[in-house]
Amino acid sequence: MNAYKHVVYWHDTEPVTLGEPLRESVECDVCIVGGGFTGLWTAYFLKEAEPALDIRVVEANHSGYGASGRADGFVTPTIGKDIQALVKEFGLQRALDASKAVGRSILEIGRFARRNRVDVEYEANDYLMVATDAAQLKRLEHDRDLAERMGAAQPEILSRQDSQDIVGSPAVLASMRTGGALVNPFKLARGIARVVRDKGVTIYDKSPCLRVEPGVRPTVVTAGGRVRADKVVLATNVHMDAFPPFRNKVVPIWTYAMVSEPLTDEQLSRVAWAGREGLVEAKSLLTCARFTHDNRLMFAGGPAPYYYGRDKRQRNMNRPEVYRAIRQEFLRFFPMWGDIEFTYAYGGTADVVRDYAPHFGTLNGGNILYGYGYCGNGIAATHTGGKVLRDLALGKETDYSRLLFVDDERRKPPASFPPEPALYVGARAVARLMDWKESRA
C-alpha cells in the first residue's frame, strides 16, 4: 500500500513565512479580497498604472494557498471550458479578441518573472494536445479547423509516429502542438505577492473576510479589523459563494494530481520526451502530464468530482478511489513506467460557472468589483483578468474592459445553480453526460 502525502507538491518547493493579520480599522483606495492570481495581478496592474494608490489585500490564509498555488502549472490560452464552447457562446470575433489577450499573457508572465527575478520555473515548451481514440481525434480536427478560422498559423495534426517521437506514449494516436508554457504556480503566486509588497501593497494573511458592507465606500469586515475603501475587489474564486450576490453562481469541482519522486536517468531514458512539452488529452475531463523542474512526473486530471454540499474541505485530498483511477490512466499512457512511485497525491477546487467562461464586473454602483469562473483554466486568464479589473476599477473604457469576460449590456451574470440536493444530482448527471457525449463525438 502506498502512503501518499496529501500535501500540495508545490507547497513543499518554497517555505512560507506568514504575514501579519489585519488587527485594526483602516482606510485605503482599493481593498482586494483574496490573494490568488486574480487578486495579486489586479494589485500589480493597479500599482503599475497608479503607483500612489493605497492597496490592501485581505487573504484568508496566505498568498497562493488556493487554486493558484495548487494548479498543475499549464499556462495555456484556454478560456473557461474550451475554445469550441467559447466561440459557440460569444461568436468568432469576441472569442478571438479574448484568446489573443490571454495568449499575450502567457508571454507576459514569463517576462514578469525575468524582469522581477522571480524563479517560477518557467519553461516555454508548448503543450501537446493528444488524441487517444477516434472521438478525441475528431475533437482535435474541430480545434484545428477552428484555429484556422481564427487565423492561427496553420496548426498541424501530427501522425501517430510523429506524435510518439515527441512524447513516447503508446496510447497517443495523434496530436497537435499548441503554444503554452509550464510554471511552478506556487512560486509564481508567492513571487507576485513579493513584487506587489515591494511596490507598497499591504497583504494581510490569516484574515478571512466575513462580509462586505456596501455603501458609498464599502467596508471589508474581518474578525480582527475593518478596511473601508473606495473600491473593493472580490477575488475569492470558489469561495465567491460566501457573498450573497454569488451564492449560487459557482460550484467547486475537485481536480486532483499525483507527483512522483525525481526520475532517475534510466527511468527518463525509457520514454522519448526531449522537449518536455505539457501533455494534455483532448477531452473535457482530461488527463494531463508534465515534468517538474527537478524531473518529477506529474500526472493529473481524470475524475473531477463534486461533493455534496459544495464540500471544499481539505480532507477531500484523501480519496483513494480517485488516485486509483489516476494511476490506471497513467499506466495506460506510460506502461513502461510501472515502477514509478507517486509520493504526492492532492487536489483543489476549480470554480465552475453555468456558462463555462469567466465573469468580471461591478456591483453597488461600481464600487464593488469581482472576477471568477475560470473553470479550471486560469493561470493565463487571471493575468488578463487583472488588467480587466484594473480598468474597471479605474473606470476606464479600454480593450480589456470590453472583452467577453465582462458582465455588461451584452453579457449577463451567470445563471444560478439549483440548491441541494438538486445540485448534487445535476452535477453527477452532467459529468456522466459529458463522458458519454465525448465517447461518441
Ligand X SMILES: Cc1cc2nc3c(=O)[nH]c(=O)nc-3n(C[C@H](O)[C@H](O)[C@H](O)COP(=O)(O)OP(=O)(O)OC[C@H]3O[C@@H](n4cnc5c(N)ncnc54)[C@H](O)[C@@H]3O)c2cc1C
Point out which span in 62-70, 119-127, 403-411, 413-421 binds ligand X (CB under 6 A): 62-70
User: Is 37 among the residues that bind ligand X (CB under 6 A)?
Assistant: yes
Residues 6 or more apart whose CB falls under 8 angstroms from that of 385 comprise: 38, 41, 42, 358, 360, 371, 378, 405
In the complex, the smallest distance separating the C-beta of residue 336 from ligand X, rounded to whole angstroms, is: 25
The H-or-E segment that residue 106 falls in is helix 92-115
Alpha carbon distance 351, 118 (integer Å): 27
**Is-cis flag, bond preceding 421, omega within 30?**
yes
Grid coordinates belonging to 49: 498604472
- Of 223 and 422, which has the nearer Cβ to ligand X? 223
Q: Quick one: which of 112, 374, 405, 417 contacts ligand X (CB under 6 A)?
A: 374
User: Is 60 among the residues that bind ligand X (CB under 6 A)?
Assistant: yes
Instruction: Tell me the number of residues near ligand X by CB under 6 A.
Output: 41
- Of 146 and 253, which has the nearer Cβ to ligand X? 253
User: Is 72 among the residues that bind ligand X (CB under 6 A)?
Assistant: yes
- Of 19 and 376, which has the nearer Cβ to ligand X? 376
User: Is 405 among the residues that bind ligand X (CB under 6 A)?
Assistant: no
Alpha carbon distance 285, 103 (integer Å): 23
CB 16 within 8 A of CB 357: no
User: Is 19 among the residues that bind ligand X (CB under 6 A)?
Assistant: no
User: Is 284 among the residues that bind ligand X (CB under 6 A)?
Assistant: no
Grid coordinates belonging to 90: 460569444
CB 289 within 8 A of CB 297: yes
Site string for ligand X, 336-355 (x = CB under 6 A): -----------xxxx-----
CB 354 within 8 A of CB 414: yes
- Of 221 and 336, which has the nearer Cβ to ligand X? 221
Grid coordinates belonging to 249: 453562481
CB 349 within 8 A of CB 238: yes
User: Is 33 among the residues that bind ligand X (CB under 6 A)?
Assistant: yes
The H-or-E segment that residue 393 falls in is helix 379-393
Q: Quick one: which of 4, 10, 74, 337 contacts ligand X (CB under 6 A)?
A: 74
User: Is 201 among the residues that bind ligand X (CB under 6 A)?
Assistant: no
The H-or-E segment that residue 248 falls in is none
Cα–Cα–Cα angle for 187, 278, 5, rounded to 5 degrees: 55
User: Is 242 among the residues that bind ligand X (CB under 6 A)?
Assistant: yes
User: Is 323 among the residues that bind ligand X (CB under 6 A)?
Assistant: no
User: Is 66 among the residues that bind ligand X (CB under 6 A)?
Assistant: yes
Tell me which residues in 375-394 interact with ligand X (CB under 6 A).
Answer: 376-379, 382
- Of 36 and 218, which has the nearer Cβ to ligand X? 36
Cα–Cα–Cα angle for 139, 141, 146, rounded to 5 degrees: 95
Give me the residues that bind ligand X (CB under 6 A), please: 33-39, 58-61, 65-68, 70-74, 76, 208-209, 235-237, 239, 242, 255, 257, 347-350, 372, 374, 376-379, 382
